[in-house]
Amino acid sequence: MYYTADCPSPVGMLTLASDGEYLVGLWIEGQKYFAHSLYGKVSEDYFVPVFTLVKNWLDRYFAGEKPAISEIPLRPGGSDFWQSVWRILCDIPYGEVVTYGSIAKKVASDLGRERMSAQAVGGAVGHNPISIIIPCHRVVGANGSLTGYAGGIDTKVKLLQHEAVDMTHLFIPKKGTAL
């Protein structure tokens, strides 16, 4: 059984999802793969305790604070590979960006492999079910392209600007899957 609740934010309406104990989803309205990880019965319930924690975390984040990801009990659903990528995302500091390629190198090293596909990493990043808190918006292309955000490129830009990321070397691609 999953529980959901809507939560307004500066980047649009968010939908929170919980298994009753952990946060299992946070999607931006209109996000690609919206609620893709919820299987079974889903019921709206605004009184799930973890939702209070998440709303407080988001309020602080959007007020300019840097709350720790570890404050929220997370349980994103996905393969072991996806989980390994999402753990790396959680280590990206506020106000910084990393490339898909750098994450691929880290995953390869963690798995004892010589290399890992940046495209495979992109798939895992794109399927992150806990947007904003697991900061997939901090991942960019090797050339500075702001591509690959399931919540939309405009939202990615807003989140990066909110975190005071130096945007001078970043650009919105002319075409691509994130547009």
Q: Which residues are catalytic?
A: 136
Using an 8 Å Cβ cutoff, are 96 and 165 in contact? yes
Using an 8 Å Cβ cutoff, are 54 and 7 in contact? yes
Determine the Cα–Cα distance for residues 88 and 62; give it in Å rounded to an integer.
22
- Classify burial at 9, counting beta carbons within 10 Å of its beta carbon; exposed 0-12, middle 13-18, buried 19 or more: middle
Residue whose pair of structure tokens reads 């975390």 in the numeric block: 57
Strands (E), the chain: 2-7, 14-18, 23-28, 42-44, 98-99, 139-140
Determine the Cα–Cα distance for residues 142 and 127; give it in Å rounded to an integer.
20
Token pair for 142: 């090797």
Question: Residue 23 forms beta bridges with which residues?
Answer: 18, 74
